């Protein structure tokens, strides 16, 4: 950890293959921030448990996600990369913070409502408690900034509330974190329903570009993307959700601004535009996929990254937890 640098925290769940939404809203952005901040990036397997997982798949996806982080350019020498369940302080602080969080607040969370509707046969306590565990994740590291997609904004806000509530009840303990949201790409939408967030557990995979999709699949999915009948390639999320979503994706993957992309495609047809978006995405993902496969063949290296990450994260987290235990009156020997 470098003195004087602010702390940045983020995570992704090993719940399915990640999507370009996760790449744009999270991992790709982390890479740009890793030099400026002391970064902690977790694989949130405890969060993943809130919906049913197949154990062998969860194990496999954990390493796959770690390899993906590194393949995307997150550097384990610069950042602390670790598995959430390797640092027991997450569960312990979550339990403490549960007592400073109200049931009504959790019932109002959009993600809880959405996931309860989607998994009506399994509305478990973990699903409801997800934001408190996320608050524990963030607060353990005295994080200043949380770069996440817009879908997580409500959870960052509740983490701030919980931190302030605890600080007021005792004395300043936690840094009150701030969310960082991208100007372009904070919410990538589904290709077939461009008013809805692109999600890795979407029912119809044709609206979702997974980071392990091959070029043909990517092009096919973009060809089918829903647009409109207006035939103009302009950024207007209110009235042209599909085209605006495609422009956003193109802008991130080509490195051009939205304005530049609009001029490039002025007067051209949707078919040509969709093909160009698909090609830009496929060209960027191919080397990431190759590097991920190379890393996955070196399990000893990946285990080493996790081991060192758990030690580095654990040191910081345990210190914060000890402080909390002292303040709330847990007897220590």
Interacting residue with ligand AQP among 136, 148, 219, 277 (CB under 6 A)? 148
Does the footprint of ligand AQP cover residue 65 (CB under 6 A)?
no
41 phi/psi in degrees, rounded to 5 = -125, 120
Is 200 annotated as catalytic? yes
Near ligand AQP by CB under 6 A, which window of 34-42, 144-152, 267-275, 292-300? 144-152
Contact with ligand AQP (CB under 6 A) among 15, 50, 244, 320: 15
138 is a site residue for ligand AQP (CB under 6 A): no
Q: Quote the longest CA-to-CA distance of the chain.
A: 74
Q: Give the position of tokens 């830009």.
A: 280
Q: Under the criterion CB under 6 A, does residue 136 sit at the interface with ligand AQP?
A: no
Residue with tokens 């602080």: 93
DSSP alpha helices (H): ranges in the chain?
20-22, 28-33, 45-48, 55-72, 89-98, 103-107, 110-118, 125-140, 153-169, 215-223, 241-254, 258-264, 270-296, 299-328
Contacts of 43 (CB under 8 A, 6+ apart): 11, 12, 13, 14, 62, 65, 66, 69, 81, 82, 83, 84
| Cβ-contact 177, 146 below 8 angstroms | yes
- Among residues 79 and 188, whose Cβ is nearest to ligand AQP? 188
Quote the tokens at residue 73.
């350019």
Q: Least separation, in Å, of the C-beta of 167 and ligand AQP?
A: 25
Binding ligand AQP by CB under 6 A: which of 71, 127, 188, 295? 188
Q: Does 127 bind ligand AQP (CB under 6 A)?
A: no
Active site residue 115: yes
Distances (CA, A) of 299 to 18, 64, 72, 86, 289: 20, 10, 18, 17, 16
Coil/strand/helix, residue 194 = coil
Catalytic: which of 32, 78, 113, 115? 115
Q: How many residues does the chain have?
A: 333
List Cβ<8 Å contacts ≥24 apart for 281-287. Answer: 281/20, 281/209, 281/218, 281/222, 281/249, 281/253, 282/214, 282/215, 282/218, 282/219, 283/253, 284/253, 285/211, 285/213, 285/218, 286/215
The active-site residue out of 6, 187, 200, 299 is 200
Taking CB under 6 A as the rule, does residue 261 contact ligand AQP?
Answer: no
| Residue 119 found at the interface with ligand AQP (CB under 6 A) | no
Tell me which of 7, 8, 9, 24 binds ligand AQP, using CB under 6 A: 24
Region near ligand AQP per CB under 6 A, out of 13-21, 242-250, 265-273, 297-305: 13-21
Which among 15-23, 68-76, 89-97, 323-331 is the span making contact with ligand AQP, rule CB under 6 A? 15-23
**Closest separation in Å from C-beta 37 to ligand AQP:** 16
Q: Does 192 bind ligand AQP (CB under 6 A)?
A: no
Does residue 183 carry a catalytic annotation? no
> By CB under 6 A, which span of 79-87, 120-128, 148-156, 280-288 interacts with ligand AQP?
148-156
Annotated catalytic residues are: 115, 197, 200
User: Which residues would be at the binding site for ligand AQP (CB under 6 A)?
Assistant: 12-13, 15-16, 19, 21-22, 24-26, 148-149, 151-152, 186-188, 197-201
């Amino acid at each position: 950890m470098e003195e004087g640098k602010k702390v940045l925290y983020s995570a992704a769940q090993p719940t399915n293959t990640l999507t370009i939404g996760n790449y744009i809203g999270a991992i790709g952005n982390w890479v740009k921030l890793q030099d400026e901040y002391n970064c902690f990036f977790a694989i949130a397997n405890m969060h993943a448990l809130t919906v049913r997982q197949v154990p062998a798949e969860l194990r496999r996806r954990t390493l796959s996600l770690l390899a993906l982080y590194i393949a995307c350019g997150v550097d384990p020498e610069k950042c602390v990369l670790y598995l959430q369940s390797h640092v027991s302080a997450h569960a312990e602080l979550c339990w403490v913070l549960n007592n400073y969080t109200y049931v009504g607040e959790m019932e109002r969370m959009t993600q809880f409502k959405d996931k309860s509707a989607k998994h009506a046969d399994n509305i478990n306590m973990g699903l409801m408690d997800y934001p408190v565990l996320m608050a524990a994740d963030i607060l353990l590291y005295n994080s200043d900034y949380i770069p996440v997609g817009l879908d997580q904004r409500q959870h960052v806000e509740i983490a701030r509330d919980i931190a302030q509530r605890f600080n007021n009840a005792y004395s300043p303990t936690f840094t009150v974190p701030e969310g960082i949201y991208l100007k372009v790409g904070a919410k990538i939408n589904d290709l077939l329903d461009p008013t809805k967030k692109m999600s890795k557990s979407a029912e119809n995979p044709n609206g979702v570009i997974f980071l392990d999709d091959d070029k043909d699949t990517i092009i096919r999915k973009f060809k089918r993307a829903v647009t409109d009948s207006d035939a103009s390639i302009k950024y207007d999320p209110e009235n042209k959700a599909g085209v605006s979503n495609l422009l956003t994706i193109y802008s991130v993957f080509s490195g051009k601004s939205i304005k530049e992309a609009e001029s490039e495609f002025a007067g051209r047809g949707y078919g040509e535009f969709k093909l160009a978006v698909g090609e830009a995405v496929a060209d960027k993902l191919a080397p990431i996929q190759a590097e991920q496969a190379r890393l996955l063949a070196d399990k000893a290296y990946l285990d080493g990254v996790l081991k060192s990450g758990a030690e580095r994260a654990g040191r910081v987290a345990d210190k914060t937890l000890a402080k909390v235990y002292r303040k709330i009156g847990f007897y220590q020997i």
